[in-house]
Structure formats: C-alpha cells, structure tokens
C-alpha cells in the first residue's frame, strides 16, 4: 500500500483547525475534486477518496485525537483504509459520512432529513481560587455562528427562495454505478445541500449564517475544580434544518493561590512558626479562606507536624461535605542573633539535662551501638 499523506495536509488545514474550518475545507475540496468533474483524470477517484478519508477522521473528535496521538499507524487507524472504508462498515459506512454532512438519501432509498445538530462551543473560563471554592456568578462574551436574521438561514435574498437542485432533485446526493459498485456521492452542483441559491442574501452572502457576539451568564458552582467543564445546554451554535443547537462547554481553569494548595476538597498550608512558639506552644493565627482563626499548637511541636482544621477546606461539588485545612508547620531557626542572645542560648544549652532532645538522644544511642 502506498504511503498516505497527512490528513491535515490533504484537507489543507492547520493542525489546530476548528471543526468548523475542517468542515468548510472539506466541503470546498469535495466540490472541487468530485470525480464527475474530472472524467479524464485517472487519479480523481483516489484523490476524492483521500479527501473523504481525511475528513472522516478529522471531523470525528475521538478519531482525530487518536490520529493526533498515534498518526497513521495508531490503533484502529487501519480501519480508515480508503479501499474499503472498512472502519465504517463497508458501503453503509461510506454513506453515513455523507449523511452526517449533507443528509439525503440513505442506503434504503428513504429520504433522510437534512437536519443537523449545531456545533458545540468551548470556552476557557479563568476563576480565582476563592471563586472555585465558594462559587460565583460570572459572565463573558463569546462569538457564535447563528442563523442570519435577514434570510432566516436560507441564504437567499429576501423575497426569493432557494431552488431545489435539479441535478440531485433536492437529495444532495448523486448515485453512480461503476461495475458492480453503486456509489453515492454528494451532489457537486449544490454542494450536497439539495438547494441552489439564485440571488444571495446581502447580509450573510448566501451562507445563511452570521457570526455574533453573545454574553453568557454562568453560575460557577462551589467546589468546582481545575479542568472541570460546565455545560450550558443549547447555548452553542444553532442546528441546521431545524436541528437542535449545540452546547456551550465552559472549561474551568482555577488560578493558583498565594498561600493555599488544593487537593480535592482539602487545602494545604505551609506555615512558619518560631523556635519559641514550637518549644513553648502558642495560639497562632492561621489564615483560612474566610479570614484568620486562632489555633493552639502544643508545646514541643516539631517541624513538619501537620494539624487538621476540620471543615475549613472546600465544599464538595454538588454536596454538603466540606474538606479540611491541613496546616503543615515549619519551625524557623532564628538568624542574625546578637551576642547577648547567643549567650542566652549557651546558658540555655548548659541547663539541659539531655531528655529535652529525645530524638537526638535516641539517634546518638544508635550511633554508639554501631561502633561498640
Ligand atoms: Zn442571510
Ligand atoms: Zn444537487
């Protein structure tokens, strides 16, 4: 089998192309390179198949992700072999690719509706650590393709109507037989829409669609975490032919906090305490998401000791439980002492009996045993 060209290259789109760009590139190429238009070109069939194959993979987000990750040799990629469209269940699958894009006649000869669900839209929404913890009302602007108001989505100049395509009789598809094979292809005259526009709408230029700025108001629920997605049903692009609208998917990105780290519903805080506080015990002011609280650390607290402040963490998403704040204390050894302070420490040291440093004592005992 000959080496295949990169699917993105075949469709002439960028690796980061949106589904919309892929769809547009495919439609244009499918129209231009339809084999019926190039009866003398022996490579036309192969080229047309190549375009359809590239589209079948890139227009399906799961298949596209696999292709991006593994390339041609990836798992299940063999199924996209142009010779049989094996991955799509033979000819039936081949047709279904067009049905997705163009609607029209099914394998059984029934008229299928030209109805398509609108595209989903994705938006990355940045929220603060606190907004994620306690919830927030946010609004943002986004661009959405919508049906043109002037022509109500038909693409035809007001007062005129799109005409049913005479070539495909409105089905959007043309059947052709070569040998034993009956192939169904999108109609190149109407681009698979089944309709031809004589006079184009001035507002949308015949597309039937325009891009508009919209504002989304979203309730960010308390407890949401980085990477989670809020779905606003039906707020994506409108469907085609009366199909349902797509969804607006809002991907949450939580800004890091200066003090706290989060893991699920628990938050973690590293906090320095003084040598004296650690030795004598102290009521310390611990910052929380809702202001400072007093916390009594016991005398003889070691560095790295963790204290758990129950219920001072983050609320469970869609639940009533609240996580904890885990306080991790770091004992800070004083620096830049004066001569007087150093002298006080020496006096302090000479007052020790040895049992005050139990870890050091047991360590020294172990060392002693090692050499005796
Ligand atoms: Zn219009
Ligand atoms: Zn047609």
Mean pLDDT of the 180-184 span: 80
Distance 245 CA to ligand 2 centre (A): 25
Mean pLDDT of the residues in the chain: 84
- pLDDT of 240 > 50? The answer is yes
Q: How confident is the model at residue 73 (pLDDT cuts 50, 70, 90)?
A: low
CA distances in angstroms from 246 to 122, 233, 238, listed in the order given: 11, 7, 6
Distance 48 CA to ligand 2 centre (A): 18
Q: How confident is the model at residue 316 (pLDDT cuts 50, 70, 90)?
A: very high
Max Cα–Cα distance, the chain, nearest Å: 107
Both structure tokens of 257 = 């906090």
- pLDDT of 110 > 60? The answer is no
Which range (19-23, 62-66, 319-323) has the least confidence?
Answer: 62-66
Mean pLDDT of the 176-197 span: 83
Distance 205 CA to ligand 1 centre (A): 6
Q: What is the pTM of this model?
A: 0.60
CA distances in angstroms from 279 to 3, 299, 334, 344, listed in the order given: 73, 5, 13, 16
Distance 240 CA to ligand 1 centre (A): 14
Which range (65-74, 133-142, 304-313) has the least confidence?
Answer: 65-74
Both structure tokens of 24 = 């547009």
pLDDT of residue 254: 96
Mean pLDDT of the 146-175 span: 89
Both structure tokens of 199 = 């006079």
CA distances in angstroms from 231 to 10, 40, 131, 184, 252, listed in the order given: 33, 50, 18, 37, 11
Mean pLDDT of the 63-81 span: 60
Which residues are within 8 A (CB) of 316 and not within 5 positions of it... i.e. 6 or more apart? 223, 265, 322, 323
Ligand number nearest CA of 202 is 1
Distance 163 CA to ligand 1 centre (A): 15
Q: How far apart are CA 103 and CA 316, in angstroms?
A: 45
Can you point out the beta strands (E) in 75-156?
104-105, 111-112, 121-127, 136-147
Distance 188 CA to ligand 2 centre (A): 6
Ligand number nearest CA of 151 is 1
Helices (H), the chain: 7-11, 19-32, 44-58, 61-70, 90-102, 129-134, 275-280, 339-350, 358-371
Distance 73 CA to ligand 1 centre (A): 44
Q: How confident is the model at residue 79 (pLDDT cuts 50, 70, 90)?
A: very low
Distance 246 CA to ligand 1 centre (A): 21
pLDDT of residue 104: 39
Q: How confident is the model at residue 313 (pLDDT cuts 50, 70, 90)?
A: very high
pLDDT of residue 334: 95
CA distances in angstroms from 351 to 305, 345, 348, 357, 359, listed in the order given: 27, 10, 5, 13, 18
Distance 162 CA to ligand 2 centre (A): 12
CB 58 within 8 A of CB 100: no
Domains of the chain and any CATH numbers: 1-88 (1.10.287.110), 119-149+208-255 (2.60.260.20), 260-371 (2.60.260.20)
The percentage of residues in the chain with a pLDDT greater than 70, rounded to a whole number, is 88
Distance 156 CA to ligand 1 centre (A): 6
Question: By three-state DSSP, how is residue 39 classified?
Answer: coil
For β-strands 104-105 and 181-186, DSSP reports them as unpaired
Higher pLDDT, residue 327 or 54: 327
Distance 271 CA to ligand 1 centre (A): 62
Q: How many residues does the chain have?
A: 372
Higher pLDDT, residue 263 or 21: 263
Q: How confident is the model at residue 341 (pLDDT cuts 50, 70, 90)?
A: very high
Classify residue 363 as exposed, middle or buried by CB count within 10 Å of its CB (0-12, 13-18, 19+): exposed
pLDDT of residue 78: 38
Reported as a single tens digit per residue, the pLDDT across 191-235 is 888 888 889 999 999 888 899 999 999 999 999 999 999 999 999
Ligand number nearest CA of 164 is 2
Distance 16 CA to ligand 1 centre (A): 29
Ligand number nearest CA of 206 is 1
Distance 52 CA to ligand 2 centre (A): 18
- pLDDT of 13 > 60? The answer is yes
Distance 157 CA to ligand 1 centre (A): 7
- pLDDT of 93 > 80? The answer is no
Ligand number nearest CA of 160 is 1
Q: How far apart are CA 113 and CA 133, in angstroms?
A: 46
- pLDDT of 105 > 80? The answer is no
Which range (90-104, 182-196, 348-362) has the least confidence?
Answer: 90-104
For β-strands 181-186 and 173-178, DSSP reports them as antiparallel
CB 124 within 8 A of CB 118: no
- pLDDT of 65 > 50? The answer is yes
């Amino acid at each position: 089998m000959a080496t295949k060209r990169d699917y993105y290259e075949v469709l002439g789109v960028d690796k980061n192309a949106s589904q919309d760009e892929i769809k547009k590139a495919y439609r244009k190429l499918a129209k231009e390179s339809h084999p019926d238009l190039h009866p003398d070109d022996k490579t036309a069939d192969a080229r047309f198949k190549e375009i359809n194959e590239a589209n079948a993979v890139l227009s399906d987000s799961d298949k596209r992700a696999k292709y991006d990750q593994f390339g041609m040799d990836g798992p299940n990629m063999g199924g996209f072999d142009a010779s049989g469209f094996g991955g799509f269940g033979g000819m039936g699958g081949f047709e279904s690719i067009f049905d997705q894009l163009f609607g029209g006649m099914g394998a059984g000869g029934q008229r299928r509706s030209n109805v398509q669900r609108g595209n989903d839209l994705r938006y990355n929404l940045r929220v603060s650590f606190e907004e994620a913890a306690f919830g927030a009302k946010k609004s943002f602007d986004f661009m959405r393709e919508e049906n043109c108001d002037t022509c109500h989505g038909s693409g035809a100049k007001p007062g005129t109507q799109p005409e049913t395509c005479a070539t495909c009789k409105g089905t959007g598809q043309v059947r052709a037989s070569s040998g034993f094979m009956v192939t169904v292809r999108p109609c190149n005259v109407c681009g698979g829409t089944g309709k031809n526009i004589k006079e184009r709408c001035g507002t949308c230029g015949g597309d039937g669609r325009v891009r508009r700025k919209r504002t989304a108001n979203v309730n960010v629920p308390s407890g949401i975490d980085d990477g989670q997605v809020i779905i606003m049903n039906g707020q994506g692009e409108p469907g085609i032919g009366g199909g349902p609208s797509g969804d607006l998917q809002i991907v949450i990105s939580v800004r890091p906090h200066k003090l706290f780290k989060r893991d699920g519903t628990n938050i973690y805080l590293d906090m320095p305490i003084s040598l004296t506080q650690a030795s004598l015990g102290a009521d310390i002011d611990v910052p929380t998401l809702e202001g400072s609280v007093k916390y009594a650390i016991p005398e003889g607290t070691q560095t790295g000791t963790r204290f758990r402040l129950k219920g001072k963490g983050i609320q469970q998403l869609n639940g009533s439980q609240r996580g904890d704040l885990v306080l991790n204390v770091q004992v800070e050894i004083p620096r830049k002492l004066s001569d007087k302070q150093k002298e006080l420490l020496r006096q302090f040291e000479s007052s020790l009996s040895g049992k005050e440093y139990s870890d050091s004592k047991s360590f020294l005992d172990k060392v002693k045993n090692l050499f005796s």
